[in-house]
Chain A
């Protein structure tokens, strides 16, 4: 993985590991398949088969969500440049954030129980501005820790006051 391949025009982007997509799709299935069954079966058996069509709603959501998660996952990427970190994300609502290393107040690595089960961790950057929304979700823990250490190191080297 290129860390500071810093050509002026196009930075070296890094995507997210596939584990995040797997986790999100699994969560989608885990929530929506039982919901489909829970809507469809009682309505179909007790009220009438026509009413069971309501079960199509969660099913449609599932079928629509599957590729959407893939699109969203593909859109997330980040790049470590010489002086700042770039994060780009979103398909319909696109957002691109640049945080200079010298501005970082603290770097956080978090991992919830579900994330931990899938061997994933998020890195969150905090600057003095609360509006700075610089989060990279779903990294492999080793990469998250490498990123944290590197960001902290660069942040110290380039540290500036407010």
Chain B
């Protein structure tokens, strides 16, 4: 490890400039003590009331006079002690006032880059930047950065992760984006109206509180159950509409971009070859219109939606861009008829297809869900067979992916399952050899 190359790297790392977050940040941090007090008050209301009645005006004023500067100081200090730096191979984040914490995030391990802007941050003109790597913490996000700074930093991080030389990395700039898909607001609204979950939560909100009122005649019980139900109904309808509004999927040499949100804007970039699984989900009521929802799994990323709603052909063309060389198979083979003895009725929903690039498995009878796993992303293959399944000569084959998801081909004929198990291990091995390198521009 003493090649001149490495030595140069080490010397090159020395003058790396430590940078600070945007000066607005302390305002966000100042909320932490307030939140602690509020949490205590909610947790133990009686105690709080008693304490409050004992307070006089002067003690209150003194408390405020002490408390606000203390909170401000806390915010300022945490901001002051948070630094980040971009080196040739890593993003380093140092935080902590009393307990120091240093995170070194390797750029070639980036699974996705998120730039998010909550509503207030949009007003202030700042954004959060988060690198998704496996095992990354909520704490490893850079909040907040100036809007423009975040864009430049994202471009630079992606350029370095792609394998551009460090000297040129910050001159590469933003890669051009070609729009693949935009979801119109009307289609999104109709799709939510046609979703069962929306109606289910709405019906629960309308039915449960009156029933409770009849049963108990207690306002508190009704409020305590009604408000969460109302919240759930709002989140599943209005909340989803607001979150998925103006959904745009674009393609760039850095990977594909997902931008969405009405109030809180989110911009996600997933570099090429990071997608572990793609799922095409079709709720029952969308079937007549031929709409589907596309979900994806990226290791370490919290976002799981690629396309909230789109006609099937459009969705499949997006999938063909996301997983290059993959076509969604039109027909899947069903389990043998005797599988009906293991899972009555629903066995018809299961299906399997293996192409030379992906392992495809379908489940669900009413709400169909089709999962695609590229062979190169398979971490391990398992076959399971219980006593009853053995009696009926069927077995399940599980394929584990790096995003901690398992795709299962259920109730296959036993001998087919054994072939599938060994065949899948072989396909995954050869698939890996042909996979893209981590540094996709190198």
Binding site for B on A (CB under 8 A): 83-84, 92-100, 102-103, 127-134, 160-162
Contact = CB atoms under 8 A, between A and B. Distances in A.
9 contacts: A92-B387, A93-B386, A95-B385, A99-B380, A100-B425, A102-B432, A129-B402, A129-B403, A132-B379
Contacts of B386: 92-93
A75 to B, nearest CB: 12
B117 interface: no
A92 B401 CA distance: 27
B435 to A, nearest CB: 7
Contacts of B384: 93-95
Contacts of A131: 380, 398, 400, 404, 406
Nearest to A101: B429
Contacts of B428: 100
Contacts of A97: 380-383
Given A129-B402, A162-B111, A96 B382 contact: yes
Contacts of A103: 378-380
A134 B274 CA distance: 24
Contact of A162 (B276, B385, B387, B422): B276
B425 A130 contact: no
A133 B383 CA distance: 11
B246 interface: no
Nearest to A125: B380
Contact of B380 (A83, A92, A129, A161): A129
B382 A127 contact: no
Contacts of B400: 127, 129, 131-132
A133 B382 contact: yes
Interface string B385-404: 11100100001001011111
B299 A128 contact: yes
A124 to B, nearest CB: 13
B380 A100 contact: yes
Given A92-B387, A129-B401, A129-B402, A98 B377 contact: no
B425 A98 contact: yes
Nearest to A103: B379
B212 interface: no
A142 to B, nearest CB: 26
A127 B432 contact: no
A73 B381 CA distance: 22
Contacts of A99: 379-380
B438 interface: yes
Nearest to B428: A100
Contact of A134 (B380, B390, B395, B437): B380
A98 B379 contact: no
Nearest to A95: B384
A84 B406 contact: no
Interface in B194-232: none
B421 interface: yes
Contacts of B385: 93-95
Contact of B381 (A92, A98, A161): A98
Nearest to B396: A95
A98 B380 contact: yes
A108 B111 CA distance: 26
A129 B380 CA distance: 8
Interface string B276-288: 1000000000000
B404 A162 contact: no
